[in-house]
Amino acid sequence: MLLSSKNKKKRGNFPLFFLAPALISVTAVLVFPIAYALGLSFFEWNLMNEANRVFIFFKNYVSVFNDPQFWKSFLLQIGFIFIAIPIELIIGFFVSILMNRKFKGAGVLRSLLLLPVFILPVLSGLTWSFMLQPEYGTINYILSLLGFKQIAWLAYPGTAYTAVILQDIWRMWPFMFIILYAGISGMPKEFEEAATIDGAGFWQRVFYIIIPYLKPTIITAILLRTIDALRIFSEVYVMTGGGPGNSTLLLSLYINKQAFEYFNIGYASAMSIILIVVTLILTIILVRGNIEIDGDKA
Protein backbone atom coordinates (compact mmCIF):
# COMPACT_ATOMS: atom_id res chain seq x y z
CA MET A 1 0.00 0.00 0.00
CA LEU A 2 1.34 3.41 -0.90
CA LEU A 3 1.86 5.86 1.92
CA SER A 4 0.45 9.34 1.61
CA SER A 5 2.96 12.17 1.88
CA LYS A 6 1.38 13.05 5.25
CA ASN A 7 2.06 9.54 6.55
CA LYS A 8 5.58 9.63 5.14
CA LYS A 9 6.22 12.85 7.02
CA LYS A 10 4.77 11.37 10.18
CA ARG A 11 7.05 8.37 9.88
CA GLY A 12 10.09 10.69 9.72
CA ASN A 13 13.47 9.05 10.24
CA PHE A 14 12.12 6.12 12.21
CA PRO A 15 13.17 3.39 9.71
CA LEU A 16 16.70 4.77 9.65
CA PHE A 17 16.74 4.67 13.43
CA PHE A 18 15.84 0.98 13.44
CA LEU A 19 18.26 0.21 10.64
CA ALA A 20 21.13 2.01 12.33
CA PRO A 21 22.45 -0.90 14.46
CA ALA A 22 22.57 -3.18 11.43
CA LEU A 23 24.19 -0.49 9.28
CA ILE A 24 26.78 0.29 11.94
CA SER A 25 27.70 -3.33 12.48
CA VAL A 26 27.89 -4.07 8.74
CA THR A 27 30.12 -1.02 8.31
CA ALA A 28 32.33 -2.04 11.22
CA VAL A 29 32.78 -5.68 10.31
CA LEU A 30 32.53 -5.59 6.54
CA VAL A 31 32.86 -2.21 4.89
CA PHE A 32 35.61 -0.81 7.08
CA PRO A 33 38.01 -3.81 6.90
CA ILE A 34 37.61 -4.07 3.13
CA ALA A 35 38.07 -0.32 2.68
CA TYR A 36 41.09 -0.41 4.99
CA ALA A 37 42.63 -3.32 3.07
CA LEU A 38 41.94 -1.47 -0.17
CA GLY A 39 43.71 1.58 1.24
CA LEU A 40 46.69 -0.50 2.41
CA SER A 41 46.99 -2.13 -0.99
CA PHE A 42 48.19 1.20 -2.43
CA PHE A 43 51.13 1.34 -0.03
CA GLU A 44 54.47 -0.33 0.11
CA TRP A 45 54.61 -1.16 3.78
CA ASN A 46 56.71 -3.66 5.63
CA LEU A 47 55.35 -4.22 9.10
CA MET A 48 58.88 -4.41 10.53
CA ASN A 49 59.58 -0.94 9.28
CA GLU A 50 56.42 0.98 10.08
CA ALA A 51 58.04 4.35 9.47
CA ASN A 52 58.56 3.62 5.79
CA ARG A 53 55.02 3.49 4.51
CA VAL A 54 55.17 4.71 0.92
CA PHE A 55 52.19 5.43 -1.31
CA ILE A 56 52.82 3.56 -4.55
CA PHE A 57 49.35 3.65 -6.08
CA PHE A 58 48.78 0.52 -8.26
CA LYS A 59 52.34 -0.82 -8.11
CA ASN A 60 51.38 -3.65 -5.74
CA TYR A 61 48.71 -4.81 -8.19
CA VAL A 62 51.18 -4.74 -11.06
CA SER A 63 53.65 -6.74 -8.96
CA VAL A 64 50.96 -9.25 -8.01
CA PHE A 65 50.05 -9.86 -11.64
CA ASN A 66 53.74 -10.31 -12.46
CA ASP A 67 54.33 -12.67 -9.54
CA PRO A 68 54.59 -16.26 -10.82
CA GLN A 69 53.81 -17.65 -7.36
CA PHE A 70 50.54 -15.67 -7.29
CA TRP A 71 49.42 -17.35 -10.51
CA LYS A 72 50.55 -20.77 -9.31
CA SER A 73 48.63 -20.30 -6.06
CA PHE A 74 45.62 -18.98 -7.94
CA LEU A 75 45.61 -22.00 -10.26
CA LEU A 76 46.00 -24.35 -7.30
CA GLN A 77 42.97 -22.70 -5.71
CA ILE A 78 40.93 -22.89 -8.90
CA GLY A 79 41.96 -26.53 -9.39
CA PHE A 80 40.93 -27.24 -5.83
CA ILE A 81 37.50 -25.69 -6.44
CA PHE A 82 36.97 -27.47 -9.76
CA ILE A 83 37.89 -30.87 -8.36
CA ALA A 84 36.49 -30.80 -4.83
CA ILE A 85 33.17 -29.05 -5.31
CA PRO A 86 31.76 -31.21 -8.15
CA ILE A 87 32.66 -34.36 -6.20
CA GLU A 88 31.04 -32.99 -3.06
CA LEU A 89 28.01 -32.03 -5.11
CA ILE A 90 27.66 -35.47 -6.68
CA ILE A 91 28.02 -37.29 -3.34
CA GLY A 92 25.68 -34.84 -1.60
CA PHE A 93 23.13 -35.14 -4.42
CA PHE A 94 22.90 -38.92 -4.45
CA VAL A 95 22.92 -39.21 -0.67
CA SER A 96 20.10 -36.67 -0.51
CA ILE A 97 18.09 -38.79 -2.97
CA LEU A 98 18.82 -41.84 -0.84
CA MET A 99 17.90 -40.12 2.39
CA ASN A 100 14.69 -38.80 0.87
CA ARG A 101 13.22 -42.27 1.24
CA LYS A 102 11.50 -43.29 4.44
CA PHE A 103 13.26 -45.98 6.44
CA LYS A 104 13.89 -46.80 10.07
CA GLY A 105 16.60 -44.70 11.69
CA ALA A 106 16.70 -42.18 8.81
CA GLY A 107 16.65 -39.23 11.22
CA VAL A 108 19.60 -40.54 13.23
CA LEU A 109 21.55 -41.39 10.10
CA ARG A 110 20.91 -37.92 8.66
CA SER A 111 22.33 -36.33 11.81
CA LEU A 112 25.34 -38.62 11.79
CA LEU A 113 26.08 -37.82 8.16
CA LEU A 114 26.28 -34.16 9.04
CA LEU A 115 28.98 -34.63 11.68
CA PRO A 116 32.05 -33.78 9.53
CA VAL A 117 30.68 -30.30 8.76
CA PHE A 118 30.67 -29.47 12.46
CA ILE A 119 34.30 -30.43 12.96
CA LEU A 120 36.61 -27.45 13.19
CA PRO A 121 38.74 -27.12 10.04
CA VAL A 122 41.95 -27.13 12.09
CA LEU A 123 40.91 -30.30 13.85
CA SER A 124 39.96 -31.91 10.58
CA GLY A 125 43.35 -30.98 9.10
CA LEU A 126 45.16 -32.39 12.10
CA THR A 127 43.13 -35.60 12.10
CA TRP A 128 43.80 -36.11 8.42
CA SER A 129 47.51 -35.50 8.81
CA PHE A 130 47.56 -38.20 11.51
CA MET A 131 45.49 -40.55 9.40
CA LEU A 132 47.86 -40.00 6.48
CA GLN A 133 50.99 -40.57 8.54
CA PRO A 134 52.99 -43.13 6.54
CA GLU A 135 53.87 -45.56 9.33
CA TYR A 136 51.05 -45.27 11.86
CA GLY A 137 48.25 -43.67 9.87
CA THR A 138 44.97 -45.53 9.50
CA ILE A 139 44.78 -44.92 5.76
CA ASN A 140 48.10 -46.60 5.12
CA TYR A 141 47.09 -49.37 7.49
CA ILE A 142 43.97 -50.03 5.44
CA LEU A 143 46.01 -49.85 2.23
CA SER A 144 48.52 -52.34 3.63
CA LEU A 145 45.66 -54.73 4.52
CA LEU A 146 44.61 -54.52 0.90
CA GLY A 147 48.15 -55.32 -0.20
CA PHE A 148 49.23 -51.84 -1.23
CA LYS A 149 52.53 -50.15 -0.35
CA GLN A 150 52.72 -47.46 2.32
CA ILE A 151 52.46 -44.00 0.82
CA ALA A 152 53.97 -40.84 2.32
CA TRP A 153 50.91 -38.87 1.28
CA LEU A 154 52.01 -35.45 2.43
CA ALA A 155 55.57 -35.81 1.20
CA TYR A 156 55.00 -35.46 -2.53
CA PRO A 157 53.35 -32.58 -4.39
CA GLY A 158 50.72 -34.67 -6.19
CA THR A 159 49.66 -36.81 -3.24
CA ALA A 160 49.70 -33.84 -0.84
CA TYR A 161 47.39 -31.86 -3.14
CA THR A 162 45.15 -34.92 -3.48
CA ALA A 163 45.12 -35.36 0.30
CA VAL A 164 44.08 -31.75 0.84
CA ILE A 165 41.22 -32.19 -1.63
CA LEU A 166 40.17 -35.51 -0.07
CA GLN A 167 40.06 -33.89 3.35
CA ASP A 168 37.84 -31.13 2.02
CA ILE A 169 35.52 -33.58 0.26
CA TRP A 170 35.17 -35.60 3.45
CA ARG A 171 34.42 -32.55 5.55
CA MET A 172 32.19 -30.62 3.19
CA TRP A 173 30.10 -33.08 1.17
CA PRO A 174 27.49 -33.17 4.00
CA PHE A 175 27.08 -29.42 3.51
CA MET A 176 26.00 -30.08 -0.08
CA PHE A 177 23.85 -32.93 1.16
CA ILE A 178 21.93 -30.86 3.69
CA ILE A 179 21.17 -28.08 1.21
CA LEU A 180 20.12 -30.49 -1.53
CA TYR A 181 18.17 -32.60 0.93
CA ALA A 182 16.22 -29.51 1.98
CA GLY A 183 15.47 -28.86 -1.69
CA ILE A 184 14.57 -32.40 -2.61
CA SER A 185 12.32 -32.93 0.39
CA GLY A 186 10.30 -29.89 -0.73
CA MET A 187 9.70 -31.42 -4.19
CA PRO A 188 6.07 -32.52 -4.65
CA LYS A 189 5.88 -36.33 -4.62
CA GLU A 190 3.55 -36.26 -7.65
CA PHE A 191 6.39 -35.22 -9.96
CA GLU A 192 8.29 -38.44 -9.41
CA GLU A 193 5.17 -40.56 -9.13
CA ALA A 194 3.86 -39.31 -12.46
CA ALA A 195 7.24 -39.95 -14.10
CA THR A 196 7.38 -43.46 -12.64
CA ILE A 197 3.87 -44.23 -13.93
CA ASP A 198 5.00 -42.99 -17.36
CA GLY A 199 7.78 -45.57 -17.20
CA ALA A 200 10.75 -43.29 -16.41
CA GLY A 201 13.73 -45.10 -14.95
CA PHE A 202 15.96 -43.84 -12.11
CA TRP A 203 18.40 -41.91 -14.31
CA GLN A 204 15.58 -40.40 -16.36
CA ARG A 205 13.92 -39.19 -13.17
CA VAL A 206 17.26 -37.80 -11.97
CA PHE A 207 18.01 -35.94 -15.21
CA TYR A 208 14.53 -34.82 -16.25
CA ILE A 209 12.75 -34.28 -12.93
CA ILE A 210 15.05 -33.92 -9.94
CA ILE A 211 17.96 -31.93 -11.41
CA PRO A 212 15.76 -29.36 -13.21
CA TYR A 213 13.70 -28.95 -10.06
CA LEU A 214 16.78 -28.58 -7.86
CA LYS A 215 18.71 -26.27 -10.22
CA PRO A 216 18.32 -23.11 -8.09
CA THR A 217 19.23 -25.07 -4.97
CA ILE A 218 22.24 -26.62 -6.70
CA ILE A 219 23.45 -23.20 -7.84
CA THR A 220 23.04 -21.80 -4.34
CA ALA A 221 24.96 -24.73 -2.89
CA ILE A 222 27.76 -24.31 -5.46
CA LEU A 223 27.87 -20.59 -4.79
CA LEU A 224 28.19 -21.00 -1.04
CA ARG A 225 30.80 -23.72 -1.35
CA THR A 226 32.81 -21.75 -3.90
CA ILE A 227 32.97 -18.72 -1.65
CA ASP A 228 33.95 -20.98 1.22
CA ALA A 229 36.59 -22.78 -0.86
CA LEU A 230 38.16 -19.50 -1.97
CA ARG A 231 39.01 -18.69 1.62
CA ILE A 232 40.13 -22.17 2.72
CA PHE A 233 43.12 -21.84 4.99
CA SER A 234 43.47 -23.51 8.38
CA GLU A 235 42.99 -27.15 7.37
CA VAL A 236 45.58 -26.85 4.57
CA TYR A 237 47.91 -24.88 6.84
CA VAL A 238 47.99 -27.62 9.49
CA MET A 239 48.12 -30.46 6.98
CA THR A 240 50.89 -29.26 4.71
CA GLY A 241 51.81 -25.67 5.54
CA GLY A 242 51.64 -25.06 1.79
CA GLY A 243 54.23 -27.72 1.05
CA PRO A 244 55.99 -29.82 0.04
CA GLY A 245 57.75 -27.01 -1.75
CA ASN A 246 54.86 -24.72 -2.64
CA SER A 247 52.69 -27.48 -4.05
CA THR A 248 49.69 -26.79 -1.79
CA LEU A 249 50.30 -23.09 -1.31
CA LEU A 250 46.76 -22.02 -2.11
CA LEU A 251 46.07 -18.33 -2.54
CA SER A 252 44.91 -17.78 1.03
CA LEU A 253 48.09 -19.41 2.31
CA TYR A 254 50.21 -17.29 0.03
CA ILE A 255 48.46 -14.15 1.25
CA ASN A 256 49.14 -15.24 4.82
CA LYS A 257 52.79 -15.90 3.97
CA GLN A 258 53.21 -12.45 2.44
CA ALA A 259 51.42 -10.75 5.34
CA PHE A 260 52.61 -12.64 8.39
CA GLU A 261 55.89 -14.24 7.37
CA TYR A 262 57.31 -11.59 5.05
CA PHE A 263 55.26 -8.76 6.60
CA ASN A 264 54.55 -7.23 3.18
CA ILE A 265 51.22 -5.83 4.31
CA GLY A 266 50.53 -3.70 1.23
CA TYR A 267 51.29 -6.55 -1.16
CA ALA A 268 49.18 -9.02 0.83
CA SER A 269 46.31 -6.50 0.91
CA ALA A 270 46.46 -6.16 -2.87
CA MET A 271 46.17 -9.93 -3.21
CA SER A 272 43.27 -9.98 -0.73
CA ILE A 273 41.43 -7.35 -2.75
CA ILE A 274 41.96 -9.37 -5.91
CA LEU A 275 40.58 -12.43 -4.12
CA ILE A 276 37.53 -10.42 -3.00
CA VAL A 277 36.96 -9.21 -6.57
CA VAL A 278 37.23 -12.77 -7.93
CA THR A 279 34.74 -13.95 -5.30
CA LEU A 280 32.42 -11.10 -6.16
CA ILE A 281 32.54 -11.85 -9.89
CA LEU A 282 31.81 -15.53 -9.28
CA THR A 283 28.98 -14.61 -6.94
CA ILE A 284 27.43 -12.26 -9.47
CA ILE A 285 27.64 -14.87 -12.23
CA LEU A 286 26.08 -17.57 -10.07
CA VAL A 287 23.42 -15.32 -8.54
CA ARG A 288 22.46 -14.03 -12.01
CA GLY A 289 22.17 -17.59 -13.20
CA ASN A 290 19.95 -18.34 -10.28
CA ILE A 291 17.73 -15.32 -10.86
CA GLU A 292 17.32 -16.28 -14.53
CA ILE A 293 16.32 -19.79 -13.53
CA ASP A 294 13.85 -18.39 -11.02
CA GLY A 295 12.57 -16.09 -13.73
CA ASP A 296 12.07 -19.04 -16.10
CA LYS A 297 10.20 -20.90 -13.44
CA ALA A 298 7.99 -17.92 -12.82
Partner 1 sequence: MKKALLVLLVSLFIISSFAATTIKVLVWDDALTRAVQSKLKDFEKETGIKVIMELVPSGSVLQKIAVGVSSKNTQYDIVAVDEPYVPSLGDLLEPYDKWSNGNMYKKPDLNVIMKQVFDAAVWKDAIVGLPINGNIYVWMTRRDIIENKEYQKEFKEMYGYDLTVPQTFEQLLDIAKFLKKKGIYGFAPFTKTSEGATCEAMLFFSAYGTIPINLVNGKYVVSLDKERAIEAINMYKKLLEYAPVGANNYGHSERIAAFNQGKVFSMFQWPAIVPDHEDPNKSIVAGKIIYSAPPAGKYQRAAVRGAWVLGIPKASKNKEAAAEFAYWWSSYEAGKELVKVGMTPARVDLLKDSEFQSTHPWFEGIFDSMKYATSRPRIENYAEVSNVIKTNWIAAVTGTMSPEMAVNKMIEELLNVVK
What distance in Å separates the CA atoms of residue 249 and residue 253, rounded to the nearest whole number?
6
In whole angstroms, the minimum distance from the beta carbon of 276 to partner 1 comes to 22
Buried b (16+ CB within 10 A) or exposed e, 255-284: bbbbbeeeebbbbbbbbbbbbeebeeebee
What distance in Å separates the CA atoms of residue 280 and residue 192, rounded to the nearest whole number?
37
In whole angstroms, the minimum distance from the beta carbon of 240 to partner 1 comes to 7
Which is nearer to partner 1, 96 or 140 (by Cβ)? 140
In whole angstroms, the minimum distance from the beta carbon of 55 to partner 1 comes to 19
In whole angstroms, the minimum distance from the beta carbon of 52 to partner 1 comes to 11
Which is nearer to partner 1, 48 or 197 (by Cβ)? 48
Contact set with partner 1 (CB under 8 A): 47-48, 50-51, 133-135, 150, 152, 154-157, 240-246, 257, 260-263
In whole angstroms, the minimum distance from the beta carbon of 41 to partner 1 comes to 18
Which is nearer to partner 1, 47 or 224 (by Cβ)? 47
Q: Which of 277, 240, 247, 241 is nearest to 260 (CA)?
A: 241
Which is nearer to partner 1, 2 or 146 (by Cβ)? 146
Cα-to-chain-centroid distance, residue 98: 24
Which is nearer to partner 1, 124 or 129 (by Cβ)? 129
DSSP secondary structure string for all residues of 224-283 = HHHHHHHT--HHHHHHTTT-STTTT--HHHHHHHHHHTS-BHHHHHHHHHHHHHHHHHHH
Which is nearer to partner 1, 117 or 152 (by Cβ)? 152
Q: Look at residue 54 and give its three-state secondary structure.
A: strand
In whole angstroms, the minimum distance from the beta carbon of 257 to partner 1 comes to 7
What distance in Å separates the CA atoms of residue 81 and residue 227, rounded to the nearest whole number?
10
Q: Which of 50, 31, 67 is nearest to 267 (CA)?
A: 67
Which is nearer to partner 1, 56 or 238 (by Cβ)? 238
In whole angstroms, the minimum distance from the beta carbon of 6 to partner 1 comes to 56
CA contacts within 13 A on the Cβ side of 233: 9
